[in-house]
Structure 1
Amino acid sequence: MSIDINPRLLRYFLAVAEELHFGRAAMRLYISQPSLSHQIRKLEGTLGTPLFVRSSRWVQLTAAGRTLLKEAPAALAALEKAVELTRLAGAGSATTIRLGYTPVASFGTFAVLLDALQEAHPDFVIDAREIFSAEIPERLCAGDLDIGLALSPPAFDGVDSEILRREVVSALLSTRHRLSETPKIPLKDLRDETLLLFPRRLAPAYYDGIVAACQEAGFAPQICAFEDPPVNAMLARLSGGREVGLAPASFAEHAAKLGTTLTVRDVVDPPIAADLSILWPTNDPSPAIASVLATARRCAERHEWLGSPIA
């Protein structure tokens, strides 16, 4: 069955779903509240199911609404990308950069780089794909990607790389955890804790670096690796207050903002480095790749990404 939905209705839906308040959503969209309510009812009629449960005091998503909230952003992004690619191709000026980035880069690095690329090269179309670090070098060699952002990537024949951002690994834990009031947590104090990490196969060098640091601190870590999408999995596990997540600082700080009962603490003695590198095919001399690398280096300098916090 084919359903014709105006993308504008999806944007209206997302505003209400994010605000959970028709008045605030209407102000955000610069339309009247009655008009917004009418448009949402129109969308519900088209889909044949209610998306919100409404009362005079609150608004909640139905099961169908939660599903649409999960799927709609990707659908809109795909549509906008298709429109932009078509326009640029029609103007004869489209240069597509296929960029694969580790989920960790989503927070504070990829967005900054993307903004800089769009400002410096408005004729570039960035085809961004979230890919785990271990897969990026092979995808570059296979010609599936032009540029990669990977966490502690291994050396790989046919791929060049340089460190773009160096961070410390931070502890992410529940405010109920016994160490939550400790501003700087010595690594040895995690001896008896279960540590949540990305699975080793997704970023082997990063994983091994944490294990080596624990061994240097005098203990073999108890590790639980989670397989689900990183932010959701870590928030769910840490909410119980029994485990400690270890992740690059920017990732940990973003996750803590999503979980109201979570806090971030420094890990010291020793601090652990998390290096995010930019990768590209060794034998690709294209001006476009060179331009991306130059822009990335300017970003690193401007934001002091390589001002090492590791003593």
Structure 2
Amino acid sequence: MDISPRVLRYFMAVAEELHFGRAASRLYIAQPSLSHQIRKLEETLGTPLFVRSSRRVQLTAAGRTLVREAPIALAALEHAVRQTQLAGTGVATTIRLGYTPVTSLDTLTTLLDALQEDRPGFTVDAQEFFSAEIPERLGAGDLDIGLALAPQLVDGVAGEILREEPVSALLSTRHRLAAAPAIPVTALRDETLQLFPRRLAPAYYDGIVAACREAGFVPEIRAYEEPPAKAMLRLSSGRVVGLAPASFAEHAAQGSTSIVVRDIIDPPIMAELSMLWSAHDRSPSLASVLDTARRCAERNGWLHAHTT
């Protein structure tokens, strides 16, 4: 149904004046032209909006309904136009951000704080996905930016490393390795490692397996696709060792009396968190977010992780 904002404004003027002559004068158009536009609007809607007589003009029930609804429609259109214009200048917009669970406790919250400080006009719609899903979501246009653990890029998706950090071990205070200040990779030889399934972050999973192979053994891995809280509960049993990026491990174990975090050493295993975006997106708003993310990484030393 093709109804222009201009015609709705014509209608509102007649509804407020209840006089075609005065409304035409107010709108600076000829009265016959205004009457013609209102008749076309009534034809489009399929119902009369005014009862006309030689002495007065009155609104019909349909007309009274449109008096309520038209300002809402006009305001929504004006809002959409204003937000689009602001987004085009990089001043304000809604950013659809996809993040992987291991970023949620530190990296994501730090970045959101930085965006709030640098870009107060931005609204961030943050959604959780596994790392393997995020490039596909970006490629499909469902997201504007992503935070993924060791992602595999797809056509049309660009990315760069936002954070490098060691992988840490999470284990029960009752575990035999809990008393060690740090855990050599070789000490994991006889342990069962708890990870999420390879398909959710293949490069990260393969990096851990490769580190174990270089240390002379093939790791025993149990893969679980479950929320972090449930994974922590499983670790408290003392029978498995969880491996996770250090920032996630420290926050996940914070306040726990049954779980400790230990560095993995000789050598450390490194995790890379990347930010991803559509390679075809040249918008100022995306450029603003990327600029804030890079400065956030530099300010927090995310690309200078301790590796010795």
TM-score (ref. length: structure 2): 0.70
Query: Which residue of 229, 232, 256 corresponds with 1:235?
Result: 232
Query: Which residue of 249, 252, 263 corresponds with 1:252?
Result: 249
Distance 2:254 2:216 in 1: 32
Cα displacement string for residues 144-182 of structure 1 (whole angstroms, at most 9, x for unaligned residues) = 000000000013211111000111000000000000010
Distance 1:241 1:113 in 2: 34
5 Å matches for 1:143-154?
A: 143-154=141-152
SS in 2 for 1:97: strand
Distance 1:127 1:171 in 2: 31
Q: Is the 8 A contact 1:226 1:233 kept in 2?
A: no
Cα displacement string for residues 76-97 of structure 1 (whole angstroms, at most 9, x for unaligned residues) = xxxxxxxxxx9x9489345110
Q: 1:278 is matched with which residue? A: 275
Cα displacement string for residues 108-132 of structure 1 (whole angstroms, at most 9, x for unaligned residues) = 1111111111111111110100111
Q: 1:130 is matched with which residue? A: 128
Cα displacement string for residues 223-263 of structure 1 (whole angstroms, at most 9, x for unaligned residues) = 0111111x122212111111100000011111212532100
Q: 1:176 to 1:289 in 2, by over 3 A?
A: same
The Cα of 1:269 is off from its aligned counterpart by: 1.1
Query: Which residue of 187, 195, 198 corresponds with 2:196?
Result: 198
Distance 2:154 2:221 in 1: 27
Distance 1:254 1:222 in 2: 26
RMSD, aligned α-carbons: 1.6
Q: Say how many residue pairs are matched.
A: 224
**Do structure 1's residue 302 and structure 2's residue 292 form an aligned pair?**
no
Distance 1:260 1:167 in 2: 25
Distance 2:142 2:226 in 1: 24
Aligned letter for 1:210? I
Q: Is the 8 A contact 2:139 2:156 kept in 1?
A: yes
5 Å matches for 1:11-26?
A: none
Distance 1:244 1:183 in 2: 15
Cα displacement string for residues 43-70 of structure 1 (whole angstroms, at most 9, x for unaligned residues) = xxxxxxxxxxxxxxxxxxxxxxxxxxxx
SS in 2 for 1:92: helix
Q: Is the 8 A contact 2:167 2:269 kept in 1?
A: yes
Q: 1:221 to 1:286 in 2, by over 3 A?
A: same
Distance 1:139 1:248 in 2: 23
5 Å matches for 1:158-177?
A: 158-177=156-175
The Cα of 1:305 is off from its aligned counterpart by: 0.4
| Unmatched runs of 5 consecutive residues or more in structure 1 | 1-85
Distance 1:304 1:109 in 2: 12
Out of 170-179 and 235-244, give the one that drifted further: 235-244
Cα displacement string for residues 271-301 of structure 1 (whole angstroms, at most 9, x for unaligned residues) = 1011110000011100000000000000000
Distance 1:212 1:298 in 2: 32
Distance 2:249 2:138 in 1: 28
Q: Is the 8 A contact 1:235 1:259 kept in 2?
A: no
TM-score (ref. length: structure 1): 0.69
Q: 1:158 to 1:185 in 2, by over 3 A?
A: same
SS in 1 for 2:281: coil
5 Å matches for 1:97-116?
A: 97-116=95-114
Distance 2:251 2:113 in 1: 19
**Do structure 1's residue 180 and structure 2's residue 183 form an aligned pair?**
no
Q: Is the 8 A contact 2:191 2:220 kept in 1?
A: yes
Out of 205-214 and 113-122, give the one that drifted further: 113-122
Higher Cα Rg, which structure: 2
Distance 1:258 1:228 in 2: 21
Query: Which residue of 115, 118, 122 corresponds with 2:116?
Result: 118
- After TM superposition, the runs of 4+ consecutive aligned structure 1 residues lying more than 4 A away are 88-91
Q: 2:263 is matched with which residue? A: 266
Q: 1:225 is matched with which residue? A: 223
5 Å matches for 1:11-160?
A: 89=79, 92-93=82-83, 95-160=93-158
Cα displacement string for residues 186-219 of structure 1 (whole angstroms, at most 9, x for unaligned residues) = 1111101000012111110000000000000110
SS in 1 for 2:82: coil
Distance 1:162 1:198 in 2: 23
Distance 2:102 2:242 in 1: 14
